[in-house]
Each structure stands twice: as C-alpha cells, then as structure tokens.
C-alpha cells in the first residue's frame, strides 16, 4: 500500500518523505487530488545509472554464471540461451541459437553463453556499451 501526499505536504516534509522512500516506502505525490509522481527506492542498478535493458541483461548473465557448473555435463561446448534465469534453448552454433532466440523471445532479455569453453568476443546488436 502506498502513502499519498499532496505537493504542499511534499514541500513541507521533503527530507522526511525522501528518507522514508529510500527505506522502501512508496509515496504517491498528488496535485489537486490527481497522482502526478512517485517517490520510491532505487534498486542498485538504477542508483548506479544503469540502463534497464543492460540491467536485465546483466541479471541473465549472472544467472548463466551461477548455472554454469550444473550445465557443464549436458551442454559442454555448446551455446545456451538464458532467460528468466533458466536455459531456454541451446545449439552448437552461436548464429543459429541467436536467430531462434530472437524469434522466440522477441524483446525479452536474454544472455547467450558458451558452456565449458571461453566465449569469443561477439558483436551484439541492439545497444552500445560505453
């Protein structure tokens, strides 16, 4: 359940409301009774200024790293696609796997990793990492 405050109350009690939001409380700010903004805590990626797409990709990459020991027996030498923290497809060819996963998942975040062998550097279309 969110706390609701008007703009006037926000002006009067901003430091306290920000402290509460940072502690996990969700505070909806209203203007003349209409919700116009939200004060809510940032997750670590947002606080670091990380783009949401990159943050989602990093979650899938970390899932791959955690799953790698268990994947070695079944998928050694193969490429696997991780989405939602689990294997959604695999192939010996990176290109074949990428094509299938793009068709299957469309805009859902995923990570492709090679099990049991160092992965070559691959140009990923979609976003630039600066």
Condensed to tens digits (0 to 9), the pLDDT of residues 67-88 reads: 999 999 899 999 999 999 999 9
In a domain, 130, yes or no: no
Condensed to tens digits (0 to 9), the pLDDT of residues 25-43 reads: 989 999 999 988 888 887 7
Q: Which pLDDT band holds residue 62 (cuts at 50, 70, 90)?
A: very high
Domain residue limits at 11: 3-41
**Rounded to whole angstroms, how far apart are CA atoms 64 and 42?**
25
Classify residue 101 by burial, with Cβ atoms within 10 Å: 0-12, 13-18, 19+: buried
Residue 98 has what pLDDT? 94
Please determine, for residue 118, whether its predicted confidence score (pLDDT) is greater than 80.
no
Residue 82 has what pLDDT? 96
Which residue is it, tokens 């010996």?
92
Q: Do residue 78 and residue 56 come from a single domain?
A: yes
Q: Per the structure, how many domains does the chain have?
A: 2
Please determine, for residue 16, whether its predicted confidence score (pLDDT) is greater than 60.
yes
Q: Do residue 34 and residue 56 come from a single domain?
A: no
Q: Which of 107, 10, 94, 114 is nearest to 53 (CA)?
A: 107
**Rounded to whole angstroms, how far apart are CA atoms 68 and 117?**
11
- For range 46-67, the mean pLDDT: 83
Q: Do residue 61 and residue 110 come from a single domain?
A: yes
**To which H or E segment does residue 81 belong?**
strand 79-83
Q: Do residue 30 and residue 65 come from a single domain?
A: no
């Amino acid at each position: 359940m969110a706390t609701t405050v008007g703009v006037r109350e926000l002006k009067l009690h901003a430091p306290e409301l920000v402290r509460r939001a940072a502690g996990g409380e969700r505070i909806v700010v209203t203007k003349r009774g209409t919700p116009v903004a939200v004060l809510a805590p940032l997750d670590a990626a947002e606080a670091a200024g990380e783009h949401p797409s990159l943050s989602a990709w990093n979650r899938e990459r970390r899932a791959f790293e955690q799953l790698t020991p268990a994947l070695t027996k079944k998928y050694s030498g193969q490429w696997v696609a991780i989405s939602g923290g689990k294997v959604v497809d695999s192939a010996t060819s990176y290109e074949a796997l990428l094509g299938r996963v793009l068709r299957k998942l469309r805009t859902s975040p995923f990570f492709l990793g090679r099990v049991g062998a160092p992965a070559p550097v691959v140009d990923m279309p979609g976003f630039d990492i600066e």
